[in-house]
Structure 1
Amino acid sequence: MLDLKLMQKNPDVVRESLEKRGSKIDVQEFTDLDARRKALIGEVEALKAEKNAVGPEIAKRKKAGEDASDLLAKMGEVAARTKELDAELAEVEAAQKDWMMSVPNIPHDSVPLGQSEDDNPVLRYWGDKPEFDFAPKEHWELGTALGGLDFECAAKLSGSRFSISFGAIARLERAVAQFMLNTQTELHGYTEVLPPVIVNKATMTGTGQLPKFEEDLFKLTDDRELYLIPTAEVPLTNVYAGEVIEEDVLPIKFCALTPCFRSEAGSYGKDTKGLIRQHQFYKVEMVNFAHPEHSYEALEDMTRSAERILELLELPYRTITLCTGDMGFGAAKTYDIEVWLPGQDKYREISSCSNCEDFQARRANIRFQPKDSKKKQYPHTLNGSGLAVGRCLVAVMENYQQADGTIRVPEALKPYMGGIDVIGPR
């Protein structure tokens, strides 16, 4: 959520930001609501002042045994009018808050202007694409032929966009996840967390999934307003919701391996085969609570932590900077990392690392206490995939495939595979 004072004092800054993002949200709506709110407050205060001024006169008359019915009648009208105004003020403030909750974050000055993913500049490339003396297959072909992936069985159990793994392929995915967690905790200083995967409405609102993106979520069918998490960013960021952190403990770096659940609304017809776009998948997520003065250094560090996973697995990738029109709702700046998939002959996103500045902290009321000031401040929150486990499995399968359809196990994963060097038919 943006700073209310910024909206009130510099609405043009927000207007320009929305234009950069290609948003159709009308800033004038907020300005009109704020003007009405101020007018209502002024009228209520005037009525209260009138009540305070008349009160002593009523008391005086009553004490003298004089008639005060005219003043009492007038005060009855004032009370009724005040009640009406208070109700209207509550409605206006609620509408204003709803408007604020619907507005995306302001892009950082370094974010390139653009309208879509076609305008995202490549920041860097790493690694050489593997060369094959055969036509490389896609992961779903490899996994199905080896008996390690069964999409028909998953559809029988749960429906479309689910998968089930068996044998060495299932173990390979577990190895990928374990390797990621160990790397982020042992090499990059993240504290491992095992959070709940069911959260309440306030938690979803704190990170920006609600109210705007409810159709993308899986909601439990009861009256408690509970949701399955779309990413561990949601519970990890809200660990400090409503709390005040001491300045000297910043930065706080969490990581977690969790299942993630997404309805994939609006993705009809996209990536219908394989593991790329599933309703349920595993991901290692990184979250950082950073001091505002150091959050962009933290973004670079987080992105390198994600890239390092791919380098250790010897998977070619490229890192891009998202333009203003392609960034997520809460992000001020985002890097996407795309891994090379030879079966698809293209780079595909495997990590997204974002600095949300104080956008989420304001929504979740997370603050820190500076040592040299009595005024509490909002930390900057960052989040990034470190990495998407299923997509990393896809990359390993496609980049390490062999002509006979078997899959070599990367050196970095061999300690987790119980002596399996090559994955063959189950």
Structure 2
Amino acid sequence: MLDIKWIRDNPGKLDAALEKRGASPAATDIIKLDERRRDHLKILQDLQNRRNEASKEIGKAKGSGDNARADALIEEVGKLKAEIQDGEETERRIDADLEDVLARIPNVPLDDVPVGADEADNVEIRRIGEPPRFDFEAREHFDIGEALGMMEFEQAAKISGARFTILKGQLARLERALGQFMLDLHTGEHGYSETAVPLLVRDEALFGTGQLPKFAEDLFHTSEGRWLIPTAEVSLTNLVREKTLDAAELPIRVTALTPCFRSEAGAAGRDQRGMLRQHQFYKVELVSITDEESSLDELERMSASAEEVLKRLGLAYRVVTLCTGDMGFGARKTYDIEVWLPGQGTYREISSCSVCGDFQARRMNARYKVAGEKAQRFVHTLNGSGVAVGRALIAVMENYQNADGSITVPEALRPYMGGLEIIAAG
């Protein structure tokens, strides 16, 4: 959430940022609503002051024997109390309206973020590794998995509907191995602390990270009022919700391997075959909580941690900076890491690393204090996939496929596979 004071002081900057994101200007309407709130608070304060004055005058009137004056004042105080109660209810409505408007305004992109409408305007930064060359026609993961008898879509659909997958045997183990490998790498070498977090969260947690109220249709809601997490970012970032940390505690770096649940409401017709776009999938999430001076450097560090996963797996990839029109709601800047998929003959997203500044912290009321400073500051938050396990499985299957339909297990994963080198049918 953006600071209303910043909006009042920088209306032009807000509208320019919204224009870059392809959104309509909003500063004038927000400031008008805030002015209405301020005017109402002044009226309410005047009523409260008059009530206090009249209450004091009642005692003086009674003390001087002026009962008529005292009765008139008592009647006035009664009317003032009723007006104040009505005014406080109006204040709550105005506050709720203002908060709702602010909650739907996206974050302000950093100045170096490329301006654009959609993914076609994203800017490639670098490519790492060479895509493999086969002396046979590369197949997509679903053809490989079904031929091995270890990947089922029809039975998954009978159980749960579209966009679910059943993995069996060594492919199921390979998916588990990928998650364990990523956790060990990030905790053992990159300084992240493994954390087991709730998969069901309350409205407030999703509001804190920016999924609510605007993106409710992308989520799964339970009959008891909780939500299934779309990413462990929600639970991990909310670890500092309503806390005030010491600056010396920062940065905080946490990671979790969890299932994630997404309705894919806006993905009709996209990636229908296979397991690229699922309602349920595993992901290793990285979250950092920093001070305001360190967050941009932390974005580079986080992205490097995610890239290292692909380097260790020997997968070719590229890194792009997302343009303003393709960037997430809460992000100020985002790097997407896209892995090469031979079956599709293209790069596909496998990780997205974003710096959010204090946008989420304001929604969570997460602060820190610096020694010698009276005022507290909002923390800065970052999140990234380190990486999406299902998509890493797809990438390994397609990049390490063999002409006979088998899959070579990358060396980095063999310790997690009991030394297995080849996944083959039968």
Structure 1 equivalent of residue 121 of structure 2:
119
Matches within 5 A, 1:129-278: 129-222=131-224, 225-278=225-278
Structure 1 equivalent of residue 14 of structure 2:
14
* TM-fit CA distance, 1:76: 3.3
Matches within 5 A, 1:376-415: 376-415=376-415
C-alpha distance in structure 1 between counterparts of 2:25 and 2:87, whole Å: 28
C-alpha distance in structure 2 between counterparts of 1:419 and 1:32, whole Å: 66
C-alpha distance in structure 2 between counterparts of 1:214 and 1:38, whole Å: 31
C-alpha distance in structure 1 between counterparts of 2:82 and 2:184, whole Å: 65
Q: Does the residue aligned with 2:44 lie in a helix, a strand or coil?
A: helix
Note if 1:327 corresponds to 2:335. no
* TM-fit CA distance, 1:355: 0.4
Structure 2: unaligned runs, 5 residues or longer: none
Please list the CA deviations of residues 361-411 of structure 1 after superposition, one character each: whole Å capped at 9, or x if unmatched: 111111112123122111111100000000000000001111111111111
C-alpha distance in structure 2 between counterparts of 1:47 and 1:108, whole Å: 44
Please list the CA deviations of residues 99-132 of structure 1 after superposition, one character each: whole Å capped at 9, or x if unmatched: 1111111111111111111110100001101111
| Residue identity opposite 1:274 in structure 2 | G
C-alpha distance in structure 2 between counterparts of 1:52 and 1:239, whole Å: 43
Structure 1 equivalent of residue 370 of structure 2:
370
Question: How many residues were matched structurally?
Answer: 424
* TM-fit CA distance, 1:226: 0.9
* TM-fit CA distance, 1:236: 0.5
C-alpha distance in structure 1 between counterparts of 2:60 and 2:312, whole Å: 86
Q: Does the residue aligned with 1:287 lie in a helix, a strand or coil?
A: strand
Matches within 5 A, 1:286-305: 286-305=286-305
Please list the CA deviations of residues 131-161 of structure 1 after superposition, one character each: whole Å capped at 9, or x if unmatched: 1111111000000010110011111111111
Structure 1: unaligned runs, 5 residues or longer: none
Answer yes or no: is the 8 Å Cα contact 2:54–2:76 preserved in 1: no
Please list the CA deviations of residues 188-224 of structure 1 after superposition, one character each: whole Å capped at 9, or x if unmatched: 11111111111111111111111111111111112xx
* TM-fit CA distance, 1:29: 2.1
C-alpha distance in structure 2 between counterparts of 1:208 and 1:425, whole Å: 45
C-alpha distance in structure 1 between counterparts of 2:72 and 2:255, whole Å: 69
Please list the CA deviations of residues 4-26 of structure 1 after superposition, one character each: whole Å capped at 9, or x if unmatched: 22123222222221111112362
Moved over 6 A (4+): none
* TM-fit CA distance, 1:352: 0.1
Answer yes or no: is the 8 Å Cα contact 1:315–1:399 preserved in 2: yes
C-alpha distance in structure 1 between counterparts of 2:251 and 2:61, whole Å: 65
Please list the CA deviations of residues 54-113 of structure 1 after superposition, one character each: whole Å capped at 9, or x if unmatched: 334332222233212333333333333322222211111110011111111111111111
| Residue identity opposite 2:376 in structure 1 | K
Answer yes or no: is the 8 Å Cα contact 1:111–1:324 preserved in 2: yes
Structure 1 equivalent of residue 40 of structure 2:
40
| Residue identity opposite 1:144 in structure 2 | E
Structure 2 equivalent of residue 5 of structure 1:
5
Task: Indicate how the Cα distance of structure 1 residues 257 and 25 shifts in structure 2: closer, same or farther if over 3 A, else same.
Answer: farther
C-alpha distance in structure 2 between counterparts of 1:56 and 1:204, whole Å: 48
| Residue identity opposite 2:74 in structure 1 | L
Residue in structure 2 matching 1:73, options 66, 72, 75: 75
Structure 2 equivalent of residue 280 of structure 1:
280
C-alpha distance in structure 2 between counterparts of 1:355 and 1:419, whole Å: 38
TM-score between both structures, scaled by the size of structure 1: 0.97
C-alpha distance in structure 1 between counterparts of 2:379 and 2:59, whole Å: 52
Structure 1 equivalent of residue 107 of structure 2:
105
C-alpha distance in structure 2 between counterparts of 1:254 and 1:316, whole Å: 26
Task: Indicate how the Cα distance of structure 1 residues 199 and 25 shifts in structure 2: closer, same or farther if over 3 A, else same.
Answer: farther
Answer yes or no: is the 8 Å Cα contact 2:151–2:168 preserved in 1: yes
| Residue identity opposite 2:191 in structure 1 | G
Answer yes or no: is the 8 Å Cα contact 1:25–1:103 preserved in 2: no
Q: Does the residue aligned with 1:286 lie in a helix, a strand or coil?
A: strand
TM-score between both structures, scaled by the size of structure 2: 0.97
Note if 1:89 corresponds to 2:91. yes
